[in-house]
Amino acid sequence: MNVAVLIKQTPDTAELPKVTVDEAESGELQATMVINPWDEFAVEEAIDLSDRFGCETVAISLGRADETDALKHALAMGVDSAVHVDEDVIDGGDEWATAEALAAAVRKVGGGEDVELVLAGKMSVDGNSGVIYAGVACKLDWDLLVNVTRIVDIVDGKLIAEQAFEGGQETVEVPLPVVISVAKEINEPRYPSFMGIRKASRATIPTWGRDHLEIDASRTTRWNDLSKPEPEEVQVHIFDGATVEEKAAQLADALMAEKVI
């Protein structure tokens, strides 16, 4: 069984506030680009599954021509191989088009042995859509599990997983193949090892463009405008009181007056 893990290269979260509207529109970000933090959980889970079940792992990322740092990071963590999909294949398309391209890449990396499991982080820290993996499942016509907190077992062509939902958790069983988005509770991503770093730095990552992927990158949405939210005016109120109880009572009254509680 092969496992594909979808990753995205995003600005370092510490530098997100510095990204300007012009940069976002042009894609020429000045920020340090790193692997999307949510995707690190998916990469870790892929490596763990490789250890548990002996599967081959491949990281796939769609991005600009030279954006392979996130893939190198995944290789350094321990995935077996990586593929870069040139974003030109979607011709400025939206999430639906991105899902189309990634699904086509998943089909192609299968090669002789099909990919039966796709892992993804729950969202990206820049786009924040949280729908790409659902689109990939739809395009592949596979089942979808979201917010998975534990992969219990893979046996007899079925995957058993624990999935969190609001107010609870359930254990589900789905037939392979399946697309899974993982929650951060699923694991603790490892740091790249020096051996992994050496391997990653020497790896040649193939880039697939229009010549490699046959897709109809239809799109339904386009950006008409992009703006940053205005900074909120924040008022600070410090409660005076002789005791903690007195201050807490004042705080509770204020929260009720503002209809917060």
Residues that bind another protein (CB under 8 A): 34, 72-73, 76, 191-195, 197-198, 200-201
Nearest to 222 by CA among 89, 91, 86, 63: 91
In 10 A of CB 65, how many CB atoms? 11
Rounded Cα gap, residues 103 and 121, in angstroms? 16
CB-count burial class (<10 Å; 0-12, 13-18, 19+) for 255? exposed
Judged by CB, which is closer to another protein: 169, or 193? 193
Helix residue spans in the chain (DSSP H): 21-26, 37-53, 69-77, 95-110, 132-140, 194-202, 244-257
Min. distance of Cβ 202 from another protein in angstroms?
Answer: 8
- Cβ-based burial of 181 (10 A; exposed 0-12, middle 13-18, buried ≥19): buried
Closest distance to another protein from the beta carbon of 152 (Å) = 27
**Quick one: 191 or 223, whose CB is closer to another protein?**
191
Q: What is the dihedral of CA 97, 137, 127, 166, to 10 degrees?
A: 150
Minimum gap (Å) between residue 65 Cβ and another protein:
16
CB of 207 vs another protein, minimal distance in Å: 16
Evaluate whether 35 touches 59 at the Cβ level (below 8 Å): no
Least distance CB 9 / another protein (angstroms): 12
